[in-house]
Structure 1
Amino acid sequence: MTNTGKDYELFVKSLQQAILNSESVATQKNIVIEVNKKLIDDCQIEREFDLYWEYELGGLIYKTIIECKDYNSKISVDKIDALIGKVRDLPDIKAVFATKQGYQSGAQKKAARNKIELLIVREQNDTDWRDSEGRPLIKKIIINMFICLPASINHFLPTVDSKWLEENNKQNIDSSFSLTGLDKDIIIEDIGRSDKYSLYDLSYRLSNIDGKRIGTFEEPINFDNAFLIYKELKLKIKSILLNYSIHKPIENPIEIDFSKELEGVIEYLERGKKKTIFKNGKIRNF
């Protein structure tokens, strides 16, 4: 398929528009870049330019054109000569040239002499992820997240204080019994430790915080002064026997690749500066 250069023109337009949108004057003036703009020069000849924009400031109108060339080799001096010829009879135009691979030395000299600004407008490469001193910039962040699941309480066996049962006329309840119910509804009020929690809360306390304990366990919890509360039932307990399982943490790696957000790069050869333009409109200057 023949390369018409239209895709590159739109690429340059997108980056330049993002830069204009980031500047206060452009925001106030609502500057919009036009494509394939036709202008009539002083000789009444129609000239067409790839990109064009203008704005008024302080009673003066500022006009800029960009000639875009999507070449795989450096721009030669004859291409600069052609642009000089197009703008010669448009004295109030600021002329800019944009390409991907750079310019031959003769083209750079001719452009500088005729006040044509040369840009390299391209996609990113590895050099864009280093600062001016060659130090690497953060291009990608990989976060290994480990999600610790709450323990699963398989079996819960409370031991009721038999003396308390007799004193409170609860002889119809065995001192050791199983209780079935929602884990959020079964409450342990540990007065001796000034603590109160549900089995649901307890499952999180037993969770695999350090990642070392994995498997099924059974262990007692003893109390000096505690009550088991379930709906209307409240019993003083001496201990509970827990059978619970601790699961392996779930690994969830997250990758943040900043390079996918970098839309393109503009290099200003005469000034020795560079701008990187991100998809969110953020501009970084180098």
Structure 2
Amino acid sequence: MDAELYSQSIQYEQLTQSIYQAILAKEGVNNIDVEHNVSLKGKSGVEHQIDVLWKFKQAGVEHKVLIECKNYASSLTLEKVRNFFAVLHDIGNSNGLMVTKTGYQSGAKDFAEHYGIGLKILRKPIEQDWENRIKDIHLNIVARSVSSSEETPLTAELLIKPNSPEQEERLEALNQAGKLSIPSGADICLLDQNGEVSTEEMRWFLPRSLDTIDKEEGGPYTQKIALENKYLYVNEGTSEQELVEIMGIVATYYVESYSEEVISHGDEVVELILKDFSSNDVEHVQRR
């Protein structure tokens, strides 16, 4: 085997190691390390090189999962499976898996199934893998938001709720005299009953409170937003300053929309798949 093929084989073994480590983690088994290139002595006294291995104990008995990796472009023969079976038999208390890129010849498949050796395919997905599965996803995304411009302004009317007849009289007198000053502007924040800020600035708070999803582009639309325990200072900074409750906001607004088509190609998302050769079930997907 030349240096390049050897390097590719080692990379394939390490890839198998990382994928089975990920599978165990996904299944909630986090206390088992999947090892690469391990030497185990069999009952015969012969040392066997194992591509990928993990161990576990069950009822006080140690069991091992041994994986033979074959980075081959052709189907594995019966001889390869029989050789691996001999290793499993010599080591004992072992479950065996074989992993390759292309497949297994019929004799190899029959022999492996009879002796309980799992046959897996690990490779990049091919067109047949997408049969009865969704490969490409086309999404037409339509986003609607509140528009605010000179032609389509967002306006709001604050609904004041006096907390007593006396406050109502004072506010009415100021209003009649043209001296009632109510804060306005995109940067104001609503307050709590102690005069502390309790919302973000109106430029953000108001658009997020308005319904746009079920509206067609255009307008104007009108919506009343009910509020609880929200306040503002009127005539702020003067001797007539006082905190008044805001029971709601009546907003008039326009809606603008934006659409975009997003296409997700499966072969650009999925890098590798691990399949069971006998059932053809996909057991793991590695995404890019």
User: Could you tell me the TM-score, scaled by structure 1's length?
Assistant: 0.58
Counterpart-to-counterpart distance in 2, 1:141 and 1:80: 43
Q: 1:50–1:16: structure 2 CA closer, same or farther, 3 Å change rule?
A: same
Unaligned residue ranges in structure 1 (runs of 5+): 157-167, 174-180, 186-198, 218-229, 234-244, 281-286
Q: 1:141–1:31: structure 2 CA closer, same or farther, 3 Å change rule?
A: farther
Q: 1:72–1:278: structure 2 CA closer, same or farther, 3 Å change rule?
A: closer
Aligned equivalent of 2:22: 18
Q: 1:141–1:92: structure 2 CA closer, same or farther, 3 Å change rule?
A: same
Aligned equivalent of 2:276: 268
Q: Which moved more, 1:35-44 or 1:250-259?
A: 250-259
Task: Say whether the 8 Å CA contact 1:261–1:278 is kept in structure 2.
Answer: no
Unaligned residue ranges in structure 2 (runs of 5+): 156-172, 179-183, 189-201, 221-232, 237-252
Aligned equivalent of 1:150: 147
Query: Secondary structure of 1:115's partner?
Result: coil
- Displacement of 1:246 in angstroms is 6.7
Counterpart-to-counterpart distance in 2, 1:276 and 1:32: 19
Aligned equivalent of 1:182: 185
Counterpart-to-counterpart distance in 2, 1:169 and 1:77: 98
Aligned sequence identity (%): 21
What is the root-mean-square deviation of aligned Cα atoms in Å? 4.7
1:8 corresponds to which letter in structure 2?
Answer: Y
Counterpart-to-counterpart distance in 2, 1:138 and 1:269: 21
Counterpart-to-counterpart distance in 2, 1:60 and 1:273: 32
Task: Say whether the 8 Å CA contact 1:262–1:278 is kept in structure 2.
Answer: yes
- Displacement of 1:115 in angstroms is 3.3
Task: Say whether the 8 Å CA contact 2:274–2:285 is kept in structure 1.
Answer: no
User: Could you tell me the TM-score, scaled by structure 2's length?
Assistant: 0.58
Query: Highest CA radius of gyration, 1 or 2?
Result: 1
Counterpart-to-counterpart distance in 1, 2:174 and 2:98: 97
Counterpart-to-counterpart distance in 2, 1:76 and 1:91: 23
Task: Say whether the 8 Å CA contact 1:39–1:46 is kept in structure 2.
Answer: yes
Show CA shifts across 1:119-143 (max 9, x none). Answer: 122333455555xxx3x44753524
Counterpart-to-counterpart distance in 1, 2:115 and 2:285: 32
Counterpart-to-counterpart distance in 1, 2:102 and 2:87: 23
2:122 corresponds to which letter in structure 1?
Answer: V
2:282 corresponds to which letter in structure 1?
Answer: K
The answer to whether the aligner puts 1:36 opposite 2:46 as a matched pair is no
Show CA shifts across 1:9-67 (max 9, x none). Answer: 1222222222222335x34xx11111001101122221111001111111111111000
Counterpart-to-counterpart distance in 2, 1:56 and 1:106: 33
- Displacement of 1:84 in angstroms is 2.9
The number of residues matched between the two structures is 227
**Residues 183-222 of structure 1 aligned to structure 2 (within 5 Å):** 212-213=217-218
Aligned equivalent of 1:164: none
Q: 1:260–1:55: structure 2 CA closer, same or farther, 3 Å change rule?
A: farther
Aligned partner (choices 249, 253, 257) of residue 249 of structure 1? 257
The answer to whether the aligner puts 1:6 opposite 2:27 as a matched pair is no
Query: Secondary structure of 1:75's partner?
Result: coil
Query: Secondary structure of 2:4's partner?
Result: coil
- Displacement of 1:169 in angstroms is 11
Task: Say whether the 8 Å CA contact 2:53–2:66 is kept in structure 1.
Answer: yes
Aligned equivalent of 1:107: 108
Report the structure, 1 or 2, having the larger strand content: 1
Aligned partner (choices 140, 144, 162) of residue 137 of structure 2? 140
1:2 corresponds to which letter in structure 2?
Answer: E
Task: Say whether the 8 Å CA contact 1:140–1:257 is kept in structure 2.
Answer: yes
Task: Say whether the 8 Å CA contact 1:120–1:268 is kept in structure 2.
Answer: yes
Task: Say whether the 8 Å CA contact 1:94–1:116 is kept in structure 2.
Answer: yes
Q: 1:104–1:43: structure 2 CA closer, same or farther, 3 Å change rule?
A: same
Q: 1:269–1:255: structure 2 CA closer, same or farther, 3 Å change rule?
A: closer
Counterpart-to-counterpart distance in 1, 2:117 and 2:284: 23
Task: Say whether the 8 Å CA contact 1:208–1:246 is kept in structure 2.
Answer: no
2:88 corresponds to which letter in structure 1?
Answer: V
